[in-house]
Structure formats: C-alpha cells, structure tokens
Structure 1
C-alpha cells in the first residue's frame, strides 16, 4: 500500500485548467479522499459560460449513469430484506416481459427473432440481459432511437416506458453477451413494484436521506436552480450521438444544450434509475465512501459488508471484452469485469489504465466519473458537464494523475 503525496496532486489542478482553457470543459471539480480524509479538492472554469457563473463545490450536476450504482444499492437493500432474489425473472414483477424473443444472430430486421428466456434481475444489473441503448450500434438500438426510448426526465411514467421497451425483442439471448443497456432503468421499475411506491421516494428514503445527500434527487430542489450547471457538447447534433461530427475549428468548441432555465431536470416526470439523478460532488462522495466502507457511512448502515463485497466482485465469466460487446461503455472493456452497478478492474495492465485490482467505478454521459480503490483506500469523484463522455480521455488521464501521487 502506498500513500498520497499531496504536493503531486497539484498536477491535477494544471490538468483541469488545461481542459477549461482548451475549451473542452466549461468547468469541472475533482475530490480525492484517502481513508476517508480529504486530500485534494479543486474546481476550474464555469458552471455556465454565458453568465460566467463559476463551477463551485456546491454546483449541482447531471450525474446520468452514476445513478446506476445508487439504484443497484436500493435493489440490494430489498434483496437483504428477503423481498426479492437476483435470479428472479423480470416478468415476475413486470408481466409485459413474458414471452421474450431475441434477434436472430446477424438479423437485419427487427422482426427476425427467436424465442428466448426472460432475463433475470441479475442479467439486468450486469448488462447481459439483451436490452440495449438507442446510442448503441445494431438493429435493436436503431429501433429504440426511432421510438425515443431513452428514459429522459420529461418522458412521463416509468411504468409506461418499460412497457414500450418490452414490446421490442432483445438484442441477444440473455446471458450470452454484454451490452450496455437500460437494464437498470427497468430495475428501477421493479423496485417500484416491490415497494409499492415511486422510485424517487424509495431512493430518497433508503439512500439519500440516511446518507445526508441533501442536494441529490431526480429533480433540482426548489430554490437551488441557481446552482444547477449547464450541459455542453462538442457535437454539432445530438449530444448523445456518440459518433456525431464535432464542431469545426471555425466554430465554438462547446455548444450549450441545457441550462438552468427550463431544464427538464427542474421538474422531472420520470425517475430514471439508470441515469436520472442530479447532485453535488460532496453528496456523491458520501455514497462512494459508503461503498468503500462496506455499506456504512458515519453511524448509518445501508448494506452489510458482505453484500457490498459481493456487489464489487466481477459477476461475468471473464472480462467484458470476452463477452463480445458491440456497445458503448463508460469504461474500458479489456481487463475490466462488471459487478452490480459498476465496473471492476481485473488487470490494470490489460485495461491500460493506472489503478489497483478491485477498483470499482462507473461514470455518466456528462463525463462525470468516480472510482473506489480498496487497496489504497481511495475515493475519487470527478464532476463536469460535457456530453458525450467519449469526447476526451479525461478518465484514464485523471486516474494516472492520482496514481502518480502514490509513493
């Protein structure tokens, strides 16, 4: 085990400022905790460029897929209570998923399908269910894009969106491949059925309130709109279109696509368990530390130590790459496994990114990122607001900077 040389973390400040100065990020924040103690915090740039409102410690940001570990923890609380088990088929809770069909290998048409088993909750959590995302390649993803099945904050009831997803075939027979998907959004609806209440209320009662995550929720809290960051993209079109064309050199490198004026996150109608939360970097640090500490933060225990260890193990037969993925992912695929709600480093050398075996992490489409290093007792959280997260290699660069401060 090494120790952080705080002076070497000053390199992170230079790196952050370079992203702002180059027009890649409007603003950003980095928080590094070692054994629960803050070792580094820094912000750079703006939460909103037009008004020159600075990116600050209490800036509220869209965390998108960093919602997935939170929703996963909610389900695991229900598992610990004996209300559900992970091998249960999703159709037990959502009957619209019975009589599943999967696209035939090599299918060119959405109707070219074969019967298949219903995916389990475990397969939904690990992205091996056969569900997809509209921004992935392939027949199913294209159909989802055509039907706008994205689980946006202004798309109405979660139950209705899940029923629309269930009308489409799966991309593959469950368990045979890995593909990043809306599976944890569907898990959110399963949680609603089990608890008999809205997912937002369950997340609030089970996780946000106990951990003191006062600025986190599916909508920006009333009276805090002025702290909500704007969202930017370097793309000329849809900020979720991963392969879209970036602006040319004669155009601004950042285009604002959502502000704190009229954003759907000000009053979300849908609680997306896969990507709907907004919050502050300190709030997410509380959640990250709860995981690092084995399910407990302060005097509050959400999960047992054994359950958190189970979540942070690799639940795939090998690494992600061995399961033939064709999709986008928030992490590398070689040398990386997948646990429940996040990725797990199996071999840092094969992942080609500094870190420890057992690092647990995930990111969001607006380029936010967190990781827990159980070997070095680190929690690191990075916030910015640039979509898509594939725009720049900020995540491996930040990991290398932090790792370079371990001596």
Structure 2
C-alpha cells in the first residue's frame, strides 16, 4: 500500500523490492513489514512473507514480539509518574527499591567464590536506569562473572522463576559491573525501571500500561500475553544457528506462533522486552512521540517531557563509541548518544548514513525497529522475527533508503 505524503512513491516501493531480493528470497528473513509515515500520515505500509510456515502472508493484524521496543513504553510510563511529582529523574533508585541499598561494585570473586565489592562512587539514580549507565548487565553479554551470576540465577527468565519483586531482590544481592554514571552497558536496567513504575504507581505493570498508555492511545493489540481470541495472529519467530565447523548458519524456529510462550502469562513482567504488538499499534505510539506526547486529543506526557527524554543524557554528552562497555546493543555506536529511553542521533556525520540530529530510535532482539525524526516529521516501524538483531545491516539499509525517498 502506497499513499503519497512527502515521499517519492517509486523510491519507497523500491525498498520492498530490495528487502525481498536480499532478505526474503535468500531465506535470511521469513517476512517483513514496513510502515513509513510523514506527519503521522502513513505514506507506505507493505507486507511480505508468510506469518507462519506454510501459511498466509502477514497483514496489518499480524502480531510480533517487539522485545526491547518495550523499553520506550516503560520509559514513558516512568516519566508519567515524574510529571505527577511521585518520583524524579534524579531520585536514587534505593529510595523506591530498598533492595538496592548498599549495592556495591564488582571487585573480585565469582565462579564459585564469594563476590568482593567496593562502594559506588555515586548512588544509582533513575537517570542511570533510563540511559543504561546503572552498572547492571545482561546475562547474554558473556564477558564477566557478574553476567555469569545472572545466568546461574536465571534472573531474566520470564516464566516459572522470579516475579518483578523477586527479580529486584536477586539483583540487589549481586554487584554492579561499574559505578553508576561512569560507563554505558546495555542491561536489565529498564526491567528494574518497570519495577519502579509498579512500586510507585501501586499497580501491576501490565495494568498500568493498559490503563494509562494502551487504552488511551487506542493500542488494542499490545500486551504481555496474547489473548486467546488473537492467538491465530501471532507470527512465527526464528533464530540464527551457526553451522558447526563451517562458515554461515541457518534460520531455525525459536518460538512457533501456534504454541508460543507469549500465549501464557509470564511470571516476570519484563518492561525491558516482554511486549507483543502490531505495526499499526506501534505506529500510534511513535506518532504520539512525534507529536510531543499527544495523539488524537489524548495527552500521555507533556511536550517538554518528550524534549527532555530525547536529548543526549550521557555524561559529558559523549557517545556510545567512547562510553560503552557493552558487547551488544540495538544501536550503532559512533555519533550515538542516549536519552531517557531512546538512542539519540547526535552526530549524523559520525553515523555515516543519512539522518537528522535529534532523531531517536530503538529496536528489538528479533530485528524489529522504529525511529522518530522530529526534524523531517518522519516515523518508521519495521517488523520481522529473527534473532539476533545485529545479524544483518537491514536497519541501516532501510533508513538510508527511506531518507533517499524524501521529496
């Protein structure tokens, strides 16, 4: 579907042909859905590939696991509470989550030996959770004794282990990888922020999302658990498995749509990665962000709150290339700052692809992505379902071709 709104229709259509030839016909991706909008109006919305093996083509009702695209939703939820005066961006985390009181920085131990810690230079603050400078990590980083302890404790398991309170209690017993505010590391920080939202609001996180964000925005297809009457719309999800002893690998099934883990309620409500959504629902969320916190007469947050969130909050206004300790993130590092829940394009030249300073974005582990460009009034939502998300450069290619299609 192509509707002109600030773009060259032929160049937008060329994106679909490119994705089909490079990614779908070669089997790298199972399907692809792309929505491009200008000033909130859809300019391009395409659907390619089967939603399930041997099934029908994806359509506008298809449901996707958006993984870390959950993070901006959780960040908006937190800022709603900030606007109500119930918490602040610089509030020490342990004021809301006392389990984090006295948490220290890793100084030795692990792997069967008790951890040795040293005091933090500064307390962990909410801003550190929002911008991933908290000293927390992810178990899949596979580079330290701290992330090994996350794996051993199955801290990030969504089913049959810890709820949000238990998750926070377990993290509070482990050391940080660095003193808060001194480095950047992609981490469970936004999951912790979800626990903050739950504690401060006095509402379960899923209820807060539904009542305060999804229902007001008309996002009727976004949830942690896919309802039974919508289960047939959930797409298959894949992962990449390297071939043993040779180059390359294969796309293999990770989670089938018909028997998905997302069809049953999770024990841990993951504000960092647990949501399922549609492209059209996330388009509504992205348009709200583009509009400065409002959509169709409903205000979610104030205009100046969005302005605050979409500035580079990294210490010294540095970029991820200079501050990151992470082995993985959903962003390119050079020229990329980080705001309160989003990566920020801080230097277009360093990014080496077309864009605008102040553009903000994020993605998910199953290769989904979105961006919002306030300067050009452009938004994009891209959905597929293959992990890891850094396997192919499709996000950079899409952005390049979308900007090339601007009139």
- Residue by residue over 1:49-68, the C-alpha shift from the partner in whole angstroms, topping out at 9 and shown as x without a partner, is 2x323222111000000000
CA distance in 2, matches of 1:13, 1:65: 24
Q: Deviation of residue 326 (structure 1)?
A: 3.1
SS of residue in 2 equivalent to 1:47: coil
Q: Deviation of residue 290 (structure 1)?
A: 0.2
CA distance in 1, matches of 2:231, 2:114: 42
Structure 1 pair 164–106 and aligned structure 2 pair: CA distance change class (3 A): closer
- Residue by residue over 1:319-342, the C-alpha shift from the partner in whole angstroms, topping out at 9 and shown as x without a partner, is 112214233110011100001111
Residue in structure 2 matching 1:306, options 304, 307, 315 = 304
Structure 1 pair 174–110 and aligned structure 2 pair: CA distance change class (3 A): farther
CA distance in 2, matches of 1:276, 1:24: 24
SS of residue in 2 equivalent to 1:135: helix
1:6-405 mapped onto 2 (5 Å cutoff): 6-18=9-21, 19-49=23-53, 51-104=54-107, 111-116=115-120, 117-136=122-141, 137-152=143-158, 155-235=161-241, 245-246=242-243, 253-269=250-266, 270-316=268-314, 317=316, 318-405=318-405
Q: Deviation of residue 96 (structure 1)?
A: 1.0
Structure 1 pair 125–254 and aligned structure 2 pair: CA distance change class (3 A): same
Residues 110 and 140, structure 1, Cα contact 8 Å, conserved in 2: no
Aligned residues: 396
Structure 1 pair 155–216 and aligned structure 2 pair: CA distance change class (3 A): farther
CA distance in 2, matches of 1:40, 1:78: 35
Structure 1 pair 330–250 and aligned structure 2 pair: CA distance change class (3 A): closer
CA distance in 1, matches of 2:245, 2:403: 34
- Residue by residue over 1:297-349, the C-alpha shift from the partner in whole angstroms, topping out at 9 and shown as x without a partner, is 01100111111111011111211122142331100111000011110001122
Q: CA RMSD in A?
A: 2.1
CA distance in 1, matches of 2:67, 2:136: 18
CA distance in 2, matches of 1:192, 1:128: 21
Aligned to 1:239: none
Residues 224 and 275, structure 2, Cα contact 8 Å, conserved in 1: yes
Residues 104 and 172, structure 1, Cα contact 8 Å, conserved in 2: no
Structure 1 pair 36–110 and aligned structure 2 pair: CA distance change class (3 A): farther
Mind listing any 5+ residue stretches in structure 1 that lack a counterpart?
236-244
CA distance in 2, matches of 1:390, 1:248: 22
Residues 58 and 227, structure 1, Cα contact 8 Å, conserved in 2: yes
**Which deviates the most, 142-151 or 387-396?**
142-151
Residues 359 and 371, structure 1, Cα contact 8 Å, conserved in 2: yes
Residues 234 and 258, structure 2, Cα contact 8 Å, conserved in 1: no
Q: Deviation of residue 368 (structure 1)?
A: 0.3
Under a length normalisation based on structure 1, what TM-score does the superposition of the two structures give? 0.93
Under a length normalisation based on structure 2, what TM-score does the superposition of the two structures give? 0.93
SS of residue in 2 equivalent to 1:233: strand
Structure 1 pair 364–110 and aligned structure 2 pair: CA distance change class (3 A): farther
Q: Deviation of residue 249 (structure 1)?
A: 8.2
CA distance in 2, matches of 1:90, 1:133: 19
CA distance in 1, matches of 2:10, 2:321: 37
Structure 1 pair 21–341 and aligned structure 2 pair: CA distance change class (3 A): same
SS of residue in 2 equivalent to 1:353: coil
Structure 1 runs of 4+ off > 6 angstroms?
105-110, 247-252
SS of residue in 1 equivalent to 2:94: helix
Residues 338 and 344, structure 1, Cα contact 8 Å, conserved in 2: yes
